[in-house]
Amino acid sequence: MQESHAVQKTMMIRTSRWSVVLHILSVILSSFHGCSARDTITMKSSVVDGQTLVSAENRFELGFFGPSRSSNVKRYVGIWYTSNPQTVVWVANREKPLSDKSGVLHIANGYLKLSDKKGKVYWHTGQYKRSNITAKLNDTGNLILYDVDVDGLERKLWQSFEHPTDTFLFGMKNDVNLVLTSWTSEDDPAPGNFIFMQDPQANRLVVMNKSIIYWRSWRESGKIFELVNNLNITEDDTQVHKNERIVMNFTGDLQYWQFDRGMKDWSLTWWEPKDRCSKYNYCGNFGSCNINSKLPCKCLPGFKPKISEKWNAGEFVDGCSRNSTSYGTDFLCLKRMKLEYTESPFIMNNGDNCNQECLSNNQCQAYTVNASKTDRQLSCLTWTEELKNIQEDQDDGYDLYVRVPVSDIAPTSRSCLPCGTNLVPYPLSTGPNCGDPVYYSFDCDMVTGQLSFMTPSGNYTVTHVNPKASIFDIEMQAKEAVNCHAMHSSGSKILQLNRSSPFNVTSSCSSNFTNDSPLKSTIEVKITWKPPLEPTCNSSADCKEWPHSTCNITGTGQKRCLCNSAFRWDGLGLTCSPAATGQLRDSFNKSKTLPLYLIVSLPIAMALLCAILSIYLWRTKMVKKRAKQRKAHLHRYDTERGVKELMESSHLEGKDGTGIDVPFFDFESILAATDNFSDEKKLGRGGFGPVYKGKFPGGQEIAIKRLASVSGQGLEEFKNEVVLIAKLQHRNLVRLLGYCIKGEEKILLYEYLPNKSLDFFIFDESLSQQLEWGTRFNIILGVARGLLYLHQDSRLRIIHRDLKTSNILLDEEMSPKISDFGLARMIQGKQTEGSTLRVVGTYGYMAPEYAIDGVFSVKSDVFSFGVVMLEIISGKTNMRFYYVENTPSLIAYQF
């Protein structure tokens, strides 16, 4: 018994010791958390920086945090999920952060407040005169301030759910006063520019960017968070905790997040605005937005941009306005359109009533007819204000009837009706009864309002039509064989467009891989159309819309509205223009039954007269100045014998340019500048070798001509060009910057001209439109000045012998410079001609006496200049005048 009593006594002592240890641990833990329970703050406890409250089921945590990327100390009190990474859902002092870690969150004088060690208050709740206030963080993420009475009953005084910051959590109350304000940035909880709220007038959800609507829900909602309810967040289901939240992001996106338990991370499952077109009124009033197009905005048919400069720069907010102020009596039907509902629907028996209702109201802009799914009654919606927030090609869209004058959407009686939001301007054709038959390559789907371009390789969606530029855009699926690079080089072949087709793929192509578009692998291709010939006709009545024209049979047996003798057809303006205006844009599209001298003689004579007068005035002004220059620099010129000796010494001795007033470049520096003559640097190929673009240290760009080693004539032409150009200085002659001789390598270095050669522009359907008549005249005048210098003003009289459009280069200001003097010959004194047994040059530009007898003179260059001038005016090459059959050249045509 004594032993048993001793054992019992020993156990009691040990139990007493364990009780003391447990009590001490409890005190330590309570002291560590700063509160009586890990999720509660009482009047006797607090939370300091470094401590946190954790909800009962370890879902949410409250404490101090600071932006990780900020260089300054900023401390906030917030609530976040306990899972990683830290996801903050509520911030107390978002407008007033602490600048150190002395903050304490505690209950005092009826407040729950945040203060620092000096007692300065940074945030607080309202004041409540209660004796036993407790703050508790529950498992919904709600921080609740209770008053506990003597019976232990809790009464809510304040809760964070009624004061959200940027996040809506499950269990929050759905009422019209709920507002979410974004953070300023990813690391700054201060109130940002975007606010999510209810539109009090339209009863819809809205995101505001300061005072401007950024996004607004389409449909009316009975509750402020009907959208939230549709996302399976219900107000009454408070027992189930859902890891779901809606965030007003600092980017302006309203986001819905769900926690993926498998991935243990948050997943963004819904957001608005989803794309550019979802932003409120992105294209402005009367502007339609199509997310599938690279250029998302276009004005509705019959409308034009209010501010063209901004619209062309990609700023669409100003929207569009009507082409004319008077309303018509018809309506343009646009399929699958979506825009904000009007607030004044009415019930009717049929769609005609809605049409008449809009017609009877001068303020009515548009209407639509919707069938109710419940009572099957027709609901007529009319708009009396400007149409806003328009989106096209929408699956849940409807037929919209917009009031537009017929004259605004059909500028000619031959124009096809618009297809959806795309105009179909003349000569484009969607059927045999409109447009020009040659351009009948389009199809309009009357159900969807979609315009398609039909080619032998398939049909392609037309996304945009620009009548002024004669360009339309199509969409193509991006495949390995069809990409932008392929379209640049062989777009017409890919679409199987033959040479007789009036359509041509331009060099402009863009991939459409934006996150906005559901089309993730498409390219957008630009296609131009050629100006049409005169309109077809059956009788003179068909030509009434084209004044000064008469229905006549052409040489091909087809009837067209041919312009009268004093007028010429303007294919771009679609009119017969007076001949005296000088509008020559399409004069060479005439049928061959009309005499060509009426088309060619007058403009050529005018151009020659202007050129002669300008050259004479310029020469008179400059003759004295050039006389002084020639006298001052006479000592710099050698005799012809000295020049020949210099040429021989350069080649035979292989020296580095001694005696030639042109810098010598070493071969290694040229290799470095051209990446070892890589194909990427190649600009083209001349008569005696390829030409490369070189870039030297400092950024200087130079054109580098490398004589082909297999050319038997290369050495002679090389020396000729070095010596001649070294002695020539004129603004309309290309400037030689240096040369190089090393072994068999013979290289010339010229100034680099970015606009390439003249033939690159005038023989291209698209680029030729950039050459206005003023520019073409200046080019003709510049070439004439260069020839005059070679023939008369330089001491060494030079005959070029190979003047052609490909040897006329254009600088950045489109000023011409004569190049390629490899075939040039120098004649002495007053000599004006010479002869050779070896005729060189380019057929089509050679004078007859030179091509047949080998006799060349200054007149030979003048003959070549005349051919070049004809090509500049007509846009046709002398060797391929394709509008007339069985005609050998441009200059021989009816001359």
- The two beta strands, 390-391 and 287-289, are parallel
**In Å, what is the CA distance from 461 to each residue of 346, 450, 503, 522?**
37, 7, 16, 11
Q: Which two tokens stand for residue 50?
A: 């470094």
- The two beta strands, 265-272 and 254-260, are antiparallel
What does the pLDDT read at residue 621? 60
Q: Determine which helix (DSSP H) or strand (DSSP E) holds 22, and give its type and residue range.
A: helix 2-33
Domain 641-751 fold: Phosphorylase Kinase; domain 1 (3.30.200)
Decide: 121 and 127 in contact? Cβ < 8 Å.
Answer: no
Is 758 or 894 the better-scoring residue by pLDDT?
758
Decide: 520 and 560 in contact? Cβ < 8 Å.
Answer: no
Tens digits of residue pLDDT in 500-537:
889 988 866 766 544 454 444 677 888 999 999 999 88
Cα gap 221→740, rounded to integer Å: 80
Concatenating the DSSP letter of every residue in 658-691 gives TT-SS-B--HHHHHHHTTTT-GGGEEEEETTEEE
| Residue 722, amino acid | V
Tens digits of residue pLDDT in 597-635:
444 555 666 666 666 666 656 666 665 555 445 444 433
CB atoms within 10 A of CB 891: 15
pLDDT at 741 over 70: yes
What does the pLDDT read at residue 371? 54
Tens digits of residue pLDDT in 203-237:
678 999 998 999 988 765 444 455 555 544 444 44
Tens digits of residue pLDDT in 426-437:
999 999 888 999
Q: Which two tokens stand for residue 40?
A: 């509660």
Concatenating the DSSP letter of every residue in 762-792 gives HT-TTGGGG--HHHHHHHHHHHHHHHHIIII
764 is catalytic: no
What does the pLDDT read at residue 180? 94
Q: How confident is the model at residue 728 (pLDDT cuts 50, 70, 90)?
A: confident
Q: Which two tokens stand for residue 140?
A: 């919904």
pLDDT at 813 over 50: yes
Q: How confident is the model at residue 451 (pLDDT cuts 50, 70, 90)?
A: very high
Is 496 or 607 the better-scoring residue by pLDDT?
496
Alpha helices, H only, 132-259? 226-230
What does the pLDDT read at residue 189? 95
CATH code of the region 606-632+756-874: 1.10.510.10
Entry pTM: 0.56
What does the pLDDT read at residue 29? 42
Tens digits of residue pLDDT in 695-711:
887 778 899 988 766 55
Q: Which two tokens stand for residue 856?
A: 């060349």
Decide: 329 and 359 in contact? Cβ < 8 Å.
Answer: yes
CATH code of the region 40-271: 2.90.10.10
CATH topology agreement for domains 40-271 and 606-632+756-874: no
What does the pLDDT read at residue 556? 76
What does the pLDDT read at residue 740? 87
Q: Where are the domains of the chain?
A: 40-271, 277-409, 416-529, 546-594, 606-632+756-874, 641-751
Residue entry with tokens 């008469």: 550
Tens digits of residue pLDDT in 247-279:
999 999 999 888 887 777 888 888 889 899 999
Average of per-residue pLDDT across 632-659: 36
What does the pLDDT read at residue 895? 40
State the average pLDDT for the chain. Answer: 77
Residues 6+ apart with CB under 8 A from 794: 727, 728, 730
What does the pLDDT read at residue 312? 81
pLDDT at 545 over 50: yes
Q: How confident is the model at residue 78 (pLDDT cuts 50, 70, 90)?
A: very high
Per the residue annotation, which of 393, 436, 586, 802 is the catalytic one? 802
Tens digits of residue pLDDT in 358-370:
888 888 888 888 7
Distance of CA 401 to the CA centre of its chain: 30
What does the pLDDT read at residue 686? 66
Residues 6+ apart with CB under 8 A from 390: 283, 286, 287, 288, 289, 300, 337, 338, 339
Is 635 or 891 the better-scoring residue by pLDDT?
891
- The two beta strands, 471-477 and 522-529, are antiparallel
What does the pLDDT read at residue 5? 45
pLDDT at 135 over 90: yes
